[in-house]
A = this chain, B = another copy of it.
Amino acid sequence: MIQYKAPVKDIKFLMNDVYRFQEHYKTIPGGEEATPEMVDMILEAAASFSEDVIAPLYQSGDKGCRFEGGEVQTPAGFKEAYQMYVENGWQSMSTPVEYGGQGLPISLSLAKSEMIGTANWPWGMYPGLSLGAMNTIWMHGSEQQKQTFFVPLSEGRWTGTMCLTEAQCGTDLGQVKTKAEPNGDGSYSLTGQKIFISSGEHDMAENIIHIVLARLPGAPAGTKGISLFIVPKFNVNDDGSLGERNPVSCGSIEEKMGIHGSSTCVMNFDAAKGFLIGPENKGLMCMFTFMNTARIGTSIQGVASAELSFQGALPYAKDRRSMRSLSGTKDPDKVADTLMVHPDVRRMLLTQKAIAEGGRAMVYHAARLADLMTAAHNRGDQQAYEEYDDELGFLTPILKAFLTELGYEAANHGVQVYGGHGFIKEWGMEQIVRDAQISKLYEGTTGVQALDLLGRKMLLGKFKSFNRFADQVADFTKHTKRPEMKKMVRKLKRNMLAWKVNNLRIAYKASKNRDMVGSASVDYLMYAGYIAMSYYWAQMAETAYQKLEQGDGDANFYKAKIQMAEFYFKRMLPRAKGHAKMMVRDPKSLMQMDEEHFAFLD
């Protein structure tokens, strides 16, 4: 049984010391509410709620949801926890005050999401999906749609879903077949089947609002003929009360590798009543807002997997005794030394920790951008909005794919620290692996993210957002003069230079052969991830040195942070080397084999 403790100290280190959120909050609407006292109070409350209410449901929730007669029963305790969550106002933290919310910065919400997601990712998916639905309605919905659907979602009385995938298509949404026929009264009738719908049906809220991709009659083929609809489980009367049941129903729930507490539904739309959201045939474009939010949300899962698995593995490593230290017995009175004396066990623990903390630093930086982007949107500053979107758009695929790949790795280290016991359900370590697996798949697989990064953001974007990032790093390296930081700064400068050179090599090769993009993509993404993360680790080390110099705070904490940065640079960053080699290879070694010669099994 893993005892989750929210890493509040680390979160505050990022918010207060590294990123100086208090200064940042002064620049955004709603930020004035986020006083230091308020932030502390919220973090402490979110920590307690996650530790005491949500975490205890993690292992028991692995028994899964039950499906009977079209209804889904979530695991014992899920519903009650959700009620508390809603009553405590957690869902409306960062939604606008004029729509029933508390108007606090999104970055604060993300801190809460991290804690809840680490305590129990499958549980967190129910309110998490609502956020995506809310964002879409907020960005593209009419005033009436906001009043009708956004407010109850924000209050948490209802939950939301995203209905994209169909049996024949997930990534390639141009293949969507679900139809939407106009009813003549401004509403539409949706018919079709969606699969893999998280929170599509459950017993936790009184209504479920589905955001659905579908085709209007006569719409162009492919991605240019997809529109976006709101389809409620229960129709909504003019006064906001629930009307009759809409013919959208759950046909079955999937048996999956993990996240058993989260219902994954086949949803059947049998002429269900829906409402167009955004312009006709522009559904995919509108959906992108939805997906970007979801992708940053998913990147948190990487941090969560690493953090929880680390918290599970550390006490075991301190407690379990096996063999003697090779550098001399440490506990002669005991039957054996603890696992902590073994360098390789430390390597695994430190790798988990480096992923959790390095990933957290990346996510909280993105959270700050999300604050700024939302503020720009809300004040109608399209140019600023697009710039922040651009900046975030460069980071999003890295966060989503790199952090979930590494989170999965970290979860596997956790199993490994336990040895054979890691394979046994009782300890909870293997569940983290099973749950983490999905993070590499949904919201765009690692391969899809990698194409987005290299193909769209880098090559099509002519490295614009990369250059902005490179300027930020250059600014950091230029102003970091501390002798202790010399090695890290030098390494960072060299790697940024190498990255630029590699960009040009790949761009050149891709101009000759478009298959170069897919051929390089995943190695490129991992390469980018390792170097980007080193920048965040260097920033944390620099801040820790500053704090030590100033002599305030917990010196041990700052020293450990510097040691972690050293660990990252020495023991993880070198992985970028192999990726660098492989990503510049000609596509030939991937493409030359005839499809029929992949196997000779007859």
Contact = CB atoms under 8 A, between A and B. Distances in A.
Interface of A: 5-7, 9-10, 165, 168-172, 174-175, 196, 254-258, 310-311, 314, 318, 321-323, 325-328, 335-336, 340, 342-350, 353, 408, 412, 415-416, 419-426, 430, 433-434, 437-438, 440-442, 445-447, 450-451, 455, 513-515, 517-519, 521-522, 554, 556-557, 559-560, 563-564, 566-567, 570-571, 574-578, 581-582, 585, 587, 589-602
Contacts of A347: 519, 522, 590
A593 to B, nearest CB: 5
A564 B600 CA distance: 13
Contact of A5 (B171, B196, B447, B601): B601
Contacts of A326: 455, 514-515, 517-518
Given A171-B323, A172-B322, A346-B591, 11 more contacts: A7-B601, A9-B601, A168-B335, A171-B419, A172-B321, A254-B424, A327-B515, A343-B590, A344-B451, A346-B590, A571-B585
Contacts of A325: 515
23 contacts: A9-B600, A165-B420, A168-B321, A172-B323, A174-B336, A254-B424, A255-B426, A257-B430, A325-B515, A342-B447, A343-B518, A343-B519, A343-B590, A346-B593, A347-B590, A350-B593, A353-B598, A412-B437, A416-B447, A556-B596, A567-B590, A574-B578, A574-B581
Copy tally for this chain in the complex stands at 2
Contacts of A342: 447, 518
A255 B171 contact: no
A347 B450 CA distance: 13
Contacts of A328: 514
Given A256-B424, A343-B519, A599-B314, A327 B419 contact: no
A434 B257 contact: yes
A515 to B, nearest CB: 5
A353 B595 CA distance: 13
A425 B169 contact: no
B595 A340 contact: yes
A597 B556 contact: yes
A314 B430 CA distance: 27
The 9 closest A-B pairs by CB, nearest first: A343-B518, A574-B581, A257-B430, A5-B601, A343-B519, A560-B597, A172-B322, A255-B425, A326-B514
A457 to B, nearest CB: 15
Contacts of A175: 321-322, 335-336
Contacts of A451: 344
A149 to B, nearest CB: 26
Given A416-B440, A423-B437, A442-B420, A589 B601 contact: no
Contact of A593 (B514, B563, B592): B563
A560 B412 CA distance: 33
A41 to B, nearest CB: 18
A423 B438 contact: yes
A342 B448 CA distance: 11
Contacts of A594: 556, 560
B574 A582 contact: yes
A601 B55 CA distance: 15
Given A323-B172, A593-B563, A557 B343 contact: no
A597 B559 contact: yes
Contacts of A601: 5-7, 9, 311
Contacts of A589: 350, 563, 566-567, 570-571
B446 A416 contact: yes
